[in-house]
Amino acid sequence: MMGSGKSTVGKILAEVLGYSYFDSDSLVEQAVGMPSVAQIFKVHSEAFFRDSESSVLRDLSSMHRLVVATGGGAVIRPVNWRYMKKGLSIMLDVPLDALAKRIAQVGTASRPLLDQPSADPYTAAFTKLSVLAEQRGDAYANADVRVSLEELAAKKGHDDVSQLTPTDIAVEALQKIKNFVTEHSMASGPFDDL
């Protein structure tokens, strides 16, 4: 979901694994020749953005040894799962309350689906995120690995997900990826050393 930390955690995962890192939102901006996703939505449309996002994911899906931070809405097009399933997909499951707090803090300008003028950015973000979560719940559940911040906080003996650093989350993701690779008898590559 938007603001869940895909870009932040994805960069850490790539660094630890010695993989390349790509952010599909940035690649769409480059492909379209516009400086922001927000501008692409405004000048073209969401459908135009989604077409370009699919084309970027298709190109990435033939590459090896890379971590991709996708856009939060990539899950909604079934064809994107054909591309994402060429690799291993990870969902960062962050409570909506924490997402809305993060987004209210950094602002919504770069997230066009949330960018409605409001005197109360937290409540506006929470309301819109709730609708998206409801619409996309099944699609997010397609991910191979789910990293739940609530479960991770509980494992660490508390219930405050805001105490979890991107590194804590990356470490948990790596452990879960390693388990997935082992359970599915996949070639484990860099995970052998972790």
Ligand X SMILES: Nc1ncnc2c1ncn2[C@@H]1O[C@H](COP(=O)(O)OP(=O)(O)OP(=O)(O)O)[C@@H](O)[C@H]1O
Strands (E), 79-192: 90-93, 145-148
Token pair of 8, please? 């932040």
Among 32, 34, 113, 152, interactor with ligand SKM by CB under 6 A: 113
Of 141 and 186, CB closest to ligand X: 141
Q: What is the DSSP letter of 35?
A: S
Name which of Mg ion, ligand X, ligand SKM, none residue 37 binds, using a CB cut-off of 5 to 8 Å depending on partner kind: ligand SKM
Of 67 and 169, CB closest to ligand X: 169
CA 48 to chain centre: 20
Query: Is residue 7 a contact residue for Mg ion (CB under 5 A)?
Result: yes
Separation of alpha carbons 93 and 136, rounded Å: 12
Contacts of 90 (CB under 8 A, 6+ apart): 143, 144, 145, 146, 147, 173, 176, 177
Name which of ligand X, Mg ion, ligand SKM, none residue 121 binds, using a CB cut-off of 5 to 8 Å depending on partner kind: none
Query: Is residue 142 a contact residue for Mg ion (CB under 5 A)?
Result: no
Whether the CB-CB separation of 108 and 118 falls below 8 Å is answered with no
Query: Is residue 36 a contact residue for Mg ion (CB under 5 A)?
Result: no
Query: Is residue 111 a contact residue for ligand SKM (CB under 6 A)?
Result: yes
CB of 82 to ligand X, least distance (A): 21
Of 4 and 83, CB closest to Mg ion: 4
> What single-letter amino acid sits at 11?
K
Please report, as ranges, the residues that interact with ligand SKM according to CB under 6 A: 2, 25, 37, 71-73, 111-113
Please report, as ranges, the residues that interact with Mg ion according to CB under 5 A: 6-7
